Amino acid sequence: MKTLITGGAGFIGSHLAERLLDDGHEVIVLDNLSTGSIDNIAHLKRRPSFSYTIDSVTNEPLLAELIDRCDVVFHLAAAVGVKLIVEQPVHTIETNVHGTEVVLKHANKKKKLVFIASTSEVYGKSTDVPFREAADLVLGPSAKHRWAYACSKLIDEFLALAYWKEKKLPVVIVRLFNTVGPRQTGQYGMVLPTFVRQALAGQPITVFGDGTQSRSFTYVGDVVDALVRLAHDKRAIGEVFNIGNMGEVTIADLAARVKSMTGSCSPITYVPYDQAYEAGFEDMPRRVPDISKIREFVGYEPKLALDDIIRSVIEHMRAN
């Protein structure tokens, strides 16, 4: 199988590329390195079935050529991270919506299978936890930029499903829940690598808000395994799947675990949302997936528990 991964030099994309190569597939990576890093794929460069291009998905002639050479497109290129989203809402919307638009347009010419990476953010302020794929979505007002990311990814979903319904382009949508692991950075607000970096450096571990907000963290290897399984199951076409881990932890407890597991003397400090992001910032109180659908389709079960995930991030950061 020949695969194209947009955003393939990113955190998730690089792990997916590695797994596909190990499984004997050919991998082409397209990344403009805006949030990805060449270091993430440096160890793959010498593998004969791997190639990469540093450019954007908005380079349509190039994108058309790469899609023509592949069987499956994993579209992971996107603006990511709460910090980036709040600070650059125009970039967020344009990158996510237009990037997906051009991928779908060119994939449709020869009906190539496309995976659209969406997000748990689309559930918004819903209190119907755990989140189910068919549940109603509750977003905040358009005046609050925090919801621009969720809205842009939801448009991606609508557009992909429209291509499937109207043009029979095979698409699969995956909603990822706080994917974490080695190679992830805290540069754009990702909480676990930020906590680990602060703890290892002896800096204050900064919890935004009151710390009672909870999340479910999923190991990147489990996410990649789910993507590979779905790619081999034709029943997944036209469907939306949560990929996550139902284990739930408050951010305050996460900070305490990181401090304990690193043996750090760092204090845990609390920063109001207004100072961390912007005035009137809204957050999701809980984010827990219902994974019964993907379990039923491909037998997905997350393998790594939270402490093991934290340990893997600590070991990676210490080694690098």
Token pair of 21, please? 């190569």
Transcribe 7-75 into DSSP letters: TTTSHHHHHHHHHHHHTT-EEEEEE--SS--GGGTGGGTT-TTEEEEES-TT-HHHHHHHHHT-SEEEE
Q: What 3-state DSSP class applies to 316?
A: helix
Rounded CA gap, 256 and 110, in Å?
A: 51
- Please indicate whether residue 188 is annotated as part of the active site: no
Q: How far is CA 79 from the centre of its chain?
A: 10
- 274 to 173, 253, 283: CA distances (angstroms): 33, 22, 11
Transcribe 214-256 into DSSP letters: EE--EEHHHHHHHHHHHHT-GGGTT-EEEE-----EEHHHHHH
Candidate list 52, 149, 163, 300, residue with the active-site label: 149
Q: Beta strands 249-250 and 214-215: pairing type?
A: antiparallel
Catalytic residues, by residue number, are 149
